[in-house]
Structure 1
C-alpha cells in the first residue's frame, strides 16, 4: 500500500509515492537527496531533523509524510533569504558549530525564535533552544549568534527589518485544550543545583491528614501508587525495589536499594537511594523529602522536594525542560492513584512510564510555560 504526496520544498514542487508510515525526513533525504536534514535520535528529542513546514518548526523524523501533502517545506538548503543569510554568517562568526550535526536544526529553530521575538535576551534564547541538543559547543556560540542577529534586526533601518520579517516564517500560537485534566501541582519549581536536578511541588489530596500520613509512611503501599515502581523488600529502615521506564527505543529497569525515615509528630519523612539499569547503561541517585499538612478536616496538602541525578543513556532526563513535563505526568497519575487507594480502591495497573503519554505531558508543559 502506498500514497502519493505533493509538497513544495525550498520553492520547488515535488511528488513522491511512499508507504503510509514513511516520515518526512525519509522523503527529504532518500527521495529528494536533501541530506542537510540530519537524523539523530529519530524520536523527536534531539532536534537535529527540525525543518519548517507551513511556517512552523517540525521534527521531520516523527512527522508522517502523508500528513505533509500540499505543505510548504523549507530545509537548510533553502535558507538563503535575508534572515537565513544573517544567521548563517553569525553562526560562522561566533563559532557556533563544531561537528555541525545539530546545525541545520539549530538554524531552523533560531530563525523561528527571531521571527517571534524582537531582540531576545540570553535567558529567552536558551529557553527556546532547550529542544535542540548540541554535544559539542556548550551552546555559548549559538546563543551569541542568535542574540547578535536579533540586535541587528532590531537596530537596522525599517525597510530592511520589514524585508526580513516578511522573509521569515509566520509564527503560531498553541490552542488551549479545554478538556485537559487539571494540573495537580499547585506550586513548585525545577532547578539545577550543580550535578543535581531539584524538584519542589505542592499538591492536594481529598482525604484527612491522618489517612494520608498512614499511606506515605508505608513504603510498599505508597510505591504502588507510583507508575512503574515496585518494592521487593522492606525493613524498619531500608527497602529494595525497581522502577521501569520506556522512552521510544530506550527501555530501562532500575533496580536498587535505599533508606527511609518518618517522623509521626511532624508528619515529615525522607527517602534516599540509588540504582542501576540492569543493562548497565544508566545509573540514578535520588533523595525525597515530604511534609504532609492538614488543610481541612477532609483534605491534606503534601509538600515534596525531590533531588536526583541520572548518568548514562538516560542522562537527558537531568534537563529541567524535560523534567518539568515528566514531573507533571508522574504527579497526575500518582495523585489519582493515592486518592483511589485512600478511598479503598486500587492503583492503576500501568507498570511502565511510556513514551507517548510522557511526550504529550512534556509538550503540554512546554506550552503552559510559554503562556505564563
Structure 2
C-alpha cells in the first residue's frame, strides 16, 4: 500500500508517493536526493539523522513519512539562514567536526538549543547534546561553537522561545551489588571547567618526602618519568620540550615551551606550558600544580592538579570519559618510573602506549566510577 504526502522541505513544496512504512529519512535521501541527512543506527539513538520538523528536532530514521503530511521540514541543505550561517562558521572555527558524519544532526540540535535557550552555559549545552553521538571530536569543539553563537545571539538581542519544554532527566540508580576492586591507589577527579579539562590526583610514593621533593623540583629528572616526555634548554625558570602520544592509530608529537617555579619550604611547585603538534593540526595549553606531603618517614603523598585544553584534531582527548582512564594509565606508569628513579634505577624508555592497554584502563575506570 502506498500513500501520497505533501511536505515543505527547505521552503519548497514537494509531493512524494511512498509505501506506508517509509521513514522520513528515506523520503529525504532516496526520493528527494537530499543526502546531507545521514543514517547511522537507524534506531533513533545516534542522532545523525536529526532534522527540524515544524520547528522541532526529530529523528528522521524512525519518523513515518505518513505522519509528516503537511509538515515543514528543514534539512542541513536548508541551513543558510542567519542562524545556520553562524553555526556553520562557528563549527569550522572551533574544529567541531572531523569525519563529519554526525555534523548534520549536530547542527539541527544546535539550532534547537539556541532557539530555546538564551546564551546557554556549558552544562546545559552538554545535557541538550546528550542525544547526539560523535565518535571523533570529543564534543569540546561542538560545545564551544554552540556557546560562541549563543553569546552572539544574546548580544544581538534576538529572542528565544521554548516550544517544547523538556522534562527533567532523572538518572538511574547504580547497582550497589556490582563492584570492581581497584588496582591502583591513584584517586581524584576529572571535570570540565569553562573549556578546560581539570584533573586532580593523589598517589603515594614509597620514599621519604625530601627525596621525592628533590626529584620533583628537578624538571629534567621528573620529565624522564613521564611516558613520552622529554625536556631541554632548562633554565632557572623556563624549559623547552616535547611530548609524544601514540594511542593506536593516533600519533602526535607536541613541541613547546613553558615556565616553572618551586617553593622548597612548603614543597609546592607549578609548571605552565603551550605547544603544537608537528603537523600543525592540534594545539595544547596546560598547567600543573604539585604538592609533596610527608605521610610518614618512608612514604610520601603527592597531590597534583592539572588543567589542559586541546584544540584541533586531537580535541577528543578533552573528553572526561576518555581522559579519566587515559590519565590513570599514564599515572601508573609515572608512579612506577618515579619509584624506580628514587631507588637508584632508571625510568622505562618505552614510550609507546598500546591501544588495548589504554582502552582496558578506560573500561576499568568506568567500572570504578559506576560503583561509587
**Total equivalences in the alignment:** 255
**Structure 2 CA distance for aligned equivalents of residues 310 and 259 of structure 1:** 19
- Which position in structure 1 is the counterpart of 2:200? 200
- Which position in structure 1 is the counterpart of 2:270? 270
**In the TM superposition, what whole-angstrom CA distance separates every residue of 1:327-368 from its partner, at most 9, and x where no partner exists?**
111111111111111111221122134423222211211121
**Structure 1 CA distance for aligned equivalents of residues 213 and 340 of structure 2:** 15
- Which position in structure 2 is the counterpart of 1:331? 331
Moved >3 Å (runs of 4+): 87-94, 96-103, 125-132, 134-140, 147-151, 172-178
Paired residues for 1:1-372 under 5 Å: 76=42, 79=43, 94-95=56-57, 101-102=101-102, 132-133=133-134, 182-186=183-187, 188-372=188-372
8 Å CA contact 1:184, 1:331 repeated in 2: no
Deviation at 1:324, TM superposition (A): 1.1
Deviation at 1:213, TM superposition (A): 0.2
- What SS does the corresponding residue of 1:324 show, helix, strand or coil? helix
Cα 1:148–1:92 change in 2 (3 A) is farther
Q: TM-score, normalised by structure 2?
A: 0.57
Deviation at 1:195, TM superposition (A): 2.2
Unaligned runs of at least 5 residues, structure 1: 1-35, 37-47, 51-74, 107-121, 155-171
**Structure 2 CA distance for aligned equivalents of residues 326 and 193 of structure 1:** 19
8 Å CA contact 2:48, 2:132 repeated in 1: no
Deviation at 1:90, TM superposition (A): 10
Single out whichever of 290-299 and 336-345 deviates more from structure 2. Answer: 336-345
Unaligned runs of at least 5 residues, structure 2: 1-25, 27-37, 60-74, 77-99, 107-122, 148-162
8 Å CA contact 1:197, 1:320 repeated in 2: yes
**In the TM superposition, what whole-angstrom CA distance separates every residue of 1:178-232 from its partner, at most 9, and x where no partner exists?**
6x6x22313x211222121111111111110000000000111111111111112
Cα 1:127–1:323 change in 2 (3 A) is farther
**Structure 2 CA distance for aligned equivalents of residues 128 and 360 of structure 1:** 27
Deviation at 1:370, TM superposition (A): 1.7
- What SS does the corresponding residue of 1:189 show, helix, strand or coil? strand
- What SS does the corresponding residue of 1:359 show, helix, strand or coil? helix
- What SS does the corresponding residue of 2:210 show, helix, strand or coil? helix
How well do the aligned residues superpose, as a CA RMSD in angstroms? 4.3
Cα 1:219–1:286 change in 2 (3 A) is same
**Structure 1 CA distance for aligned equivalents of residues 203 and 252 of structure 2:** 28
**Structure 2 CA distance for aligned equivalents of residues 326 and 355 of structure 1:** 10
Q: TM-score, normalised by structure 1?
A: 0.57
Deviation at 1:285, TM superposition (A): 0.7
